[in-house]
Amino acid sequence: MRTTINPAACDGFGFCAEVLPELISLDEWGFPIVASTEVPAALRKAAEQAVRTCPRKALALVAAAAKNAPAAPR
């Protein structure tokens, strides 16, 4: 699983970075910068809480793509 952000929906409240500072930092305007890494098992509950606490529902957990999956056609 990875965390993703919908920047158009985000209002920069910063709750996600408070709940999951290991994977989410804030830029100079207070908007989240989400790490593009897998969510470690030890942080899974915190990641789920960060998604739940987002007032704009801009944060999501998505399944990581399989490492050997073929690239999507262009």
- Domains in the chain, CATH or no CATH each: 2-62 (3.30.70.20)
Residue 6 scores a pLDDT above 70: yes
The encoded tokens of residue 24 equal: 């989410």
CA pair distance 52, 68, nearest whole angstrom: 31
Better-predicted residue by pLDDT, 26 or 73 = 26
The per-residue pLDDT for range 13-68, each reduced to its tens digit, is 999 999 999 999 999 999 999 998 899 999 999 999 999 999 999 999 999 765 55
- Average pLDDT estimate for 1-15: 94
Cβ 16 vs Cβ 32: under 8 Å: yes
State residue 41 phi and psi, 5-degree precision. Answer: -55, -35
